[in-house]
Structure 1
């Protein structure tokens, strides 16, 4: 899973500032409150734990959180924030855990960093095997139809413009494989950063089908972490899967 590794190593130095600008830090309370209700005093495993943006405040609510990330630099950022979380370097598409968790979760667009359908199915299978019998898997994904890059071969879009920062996304779209290969150009003051990304976007119906292949079934679907309704106007969705009936 070299793409996640590349992502983490490149983004680690600026990850906190970037996620703040993207509004991800501001919604942490809603994210943690959403996830906490599925733990019920049990433990949780985050796939792509990064710098602990979600895991640290979740652990502060009394949840025992473990994590996996393919980036050593991200794990070093996490270690600086807390020593209460056990995290290890590994591939979220192929992992094994002797421990079973009440909750396994994957937030932001981490799941789409798995660049093939096969890798995404393998991740779902690994996650399902790590769940307790009554455990749940929670995944946050963007809605491809709301992404201006999908449906066009090449695009240049503005992701953020304020008094200090301009972030542009230049992308090439491969609709056959549902891949987007892009570069973020971040202009801040007199500096310019080039941040490459490679993702495989997933439609919610497809994810439901892939989950069924590994024995999971959809339990809930929400439009945001505040449990807003998922509608045709939603730009993302939060999916909750449980083990299917035997």
Structure 2
């Protein structure tokens, strides 16, 4: 996952605090409960394992979890927290494993960090090959904003404002490649952090089409980890794919 704008070494030192501020720590329990239901044989692979936010509590539920991340610094965070998870450095778009898993999952909007369509399709193909015959691929994604943007338009969005934090996203739109090149400005107390990234947004219909190219088909789609119905007002989705014909 070669992306000079991505989390990796830039985000590792603030990842845990940033995820907590964004509300991701609060939903770990629901995330793990959801994922565990697809680990019938007890094996899972996380694409973009980060600091083990989800992988570690999932492993504590008796699931044999492994993980991939392109960041050495992120992998160090996992190693500091546990020695039960086999996590290795690699590109989630192009990986292979002799192990076959009941579950392969990619959460916290990691998938768009693959900022080309080709890389995203390659990731889906690699994931499909890593599944066992009854395995499931689960992806968490946000639903792109339908407000029109023109090429090169600079957009500023307030992500979060509370008593202690203000998080602002400043992005430039590249519609030809469906890319958002952005910088997150995080104001907290007297500190200001600048966190750049580049993503390729994906509509859920396109994700389904790309999954079909990888031999996968959609089986379920939910708004959140508690299985709320996915509707036209949903701001994200949890999509479950299986091998076609399985």
TM superposition score normalised by structure 2: 0.96
Q: Which moved more, 1:82-91 or 1:137-146?
A: 137-146
User: 2:125 maps to which residue?
Assistant: 125
Q: CA 1:5 to 1:161, structure 2 compared with 1: closer, same or farther past 3 Å?
A: closer
Q: Is the 8 A contact 1:5 1:70 kept in 2?
A: no
Alpha-carbon separation, structure 1, partners of 2:224 and 2:4: 24
User: 2:183 maps to which residue?
Assistant: 183
| TM-aligned CA deviation for residue 15 of structure 1 | 0.6
Alpha-carbon separation, structure 1, partners of 2:205 and 2:6: 29
3-state SS of the aligned residue for 2:77? helix
Q: Is the 8 A contact 2:46 2:104 kept in 1?
A: yes
Runs of 4+ in structure 1 deviating by more than 3 angstroms, as ranges, are none
| TM-aligned CA deviation for residue 3 of structure 1 | 1.3
Q: CA 1:139 to 1:216, structure 2 compared with 1: closer, same or farther past 3 Å?
A: same
1:151 maps to which of 144, 149, 152:
149
Alpha-carbon separation, structure 1, partners of 2:36 and 2:5: 28
Alpha-carbon separation, structure 1, partners of 2:227 and 2:60: 22
TM superposition score normalised by structure 1: 0.96
Deviations 1:5-58 (Å, cap 9, x if unpaired)? 842111111111100010100000110000000001320000000000000000
Q: CA 1:100 to 1:93, structure 2 compared with 1: closer, same or farther past 3 Å?
A: same
Q: Is the 8 A contact 1:4 1:113 kept in 2?
A: no
Q: Does residue 83 of the first structure (1) align with residue 62 of the second (2)?
A: no
Q: Is the 8 A contact 1:4 1:71 kept in 2?
A: no
Give structure 1 stretches of 5+ with no counterpart.
none
Give structure 2 stretches of 5+ with no counterpart.
none
Q: Is the 8 A contact 1:4 1:70 kept in 2?
A: no
3-state SS of the aligned residue for 2:233? coil
User: 2:48 maps to which residue?
Assistant: 48
| TM-aligned CA deviation for residue 128 of structure 1 | 0.3
Q: Does residue 214 of the first structure (1) align with residue 214 of the second (2)?
A: yes
| TM-aligned CA deviation for residue 127 of structure 1 | 0.2
3-state SS of the aligned residue for 1:87? strand
Deviations 1:169-228 (Å, cap 9, x if unpaired)? 100011121100000011112211110010000000100000000100000000100000
Q: Does residue 16 of the first structure (1) align with residue 16 of the second (2)?
A: yes
Q: Is the 8 A contact 1:8 1:70 kept in 2?
A: yes
Q: Is the 8 A contact 2:42 2:62 kept in 1?
A: no
User: 1:238 maps to which residue?
Assistant: 238
3-state SS of the aligned residue for 2:3? helix
Alpha-carbon separation, structure 1, partners of 2:138 and 2:43: 14
Matches within 5 A, 1:19-168: 19-145=19-145, 151-152=149-150, 153-168=153-168
| TM-aligned CA deviation for residue 162 of structure 1 | 1.5
User: 2:227 maps to which residue?
Assistant: 227
Count of residues in Structure 1 that have an aligned counterpart in Structure 2: 244
Alpha-carbon separation, structure 2, partners of 1:72 and 1:24: 22
